[in-house]
Amino acid sequence: MVPGGQVPSEHAAATVVAQTNLSREKTVGSTSQNRRIAVRVVLLLAVVGLTACSSARKAPQPSAVERVTPAPTRAEPQSHPHRGLSIARDMLGMPYRYGGATPKGFDCSGLVYYSYRKAGIEVPRTTHGQYRQSQRVKLSRLQPGDLIFFRISRNTLSHVGIYVGGKRFIHAPSGGKRVAYASLDNPYWETRVIGAGRFQ
């Protein structure tokens, strides 16, 4: 029964049902389409996020030059290496020999004498002569190639080494030993230093 007391015809009723079903289909279809769009958006965001993480993890790679070229150190500048020091390094492992000043054997001042003369620098033969004629240098201003002097025997000047850098020096220690590195961090040497000198 509809307003006015009239009974709807079968055709009118069918029309109402069809319109209701169509409205439901549109609602279901719209919901399904919205779900598909939402899934696509989520997948897209996930892909973008993975790409961003992957890019963030990649550290910049150094160039070939950076990988093979070491940085120069403060202790031993690479631009002007001391020639006498280079020669003394070549003598590492040579035997100690009292009064020696050749690769067959060195005493401490003989190593300085040989290395410096090979480098074209004239120095006296003895430790005392090297100390007297060298220009005084503060220990805080030592440079590679400078000479370091020590008191060992009878608390008098009796030993010399060639400064390398980083508180290390090369010397011919004593009988039975060989030309080697030593360190001023060693209390034995640190407490026996009496000064340093330089030959230009």
**49 CB-side CA count, 13 A:** 6
- Answer left, alpha or beta for residue 170, where phi above 0 means left and psi between -120 and 50 means alpha: beta
SS3 assignment, position 156: coil
Please state the φ and ψ torsions of residue 78, each to the nearest 5 degrees.
Answer: -80, -20
Beta strand ranges found along 55-134 (DSSP E): 101-102, 105-106
Q: Which residues contact 164 (CB under 8 A, 6 or more apart)?
A: 75, 76, 85, 144, 170, 181
Instruction: Report how far Cα 54 is from the mean position of its chain's Cα atoms.
Output: 27
DSSP 4: T
Among the listed residues 11, 80, 82, 171, the single catalytic one is: 171
Cα 197 to Cα 135: distance, rounded to the nearest angstrom: 5
Q: Can you name the residues that pair with 106 across neighbouring β-strands?
A: 96, 101
Residue 82 bears catalytic tag:
no
SS3 assignment, position 157: strand
Residue 53 bears catalytic tag:
no
CB distance 106 to 114 below 8 Å:
yes
Hey, which residues are catalytic here?
A: 108, 159, 171
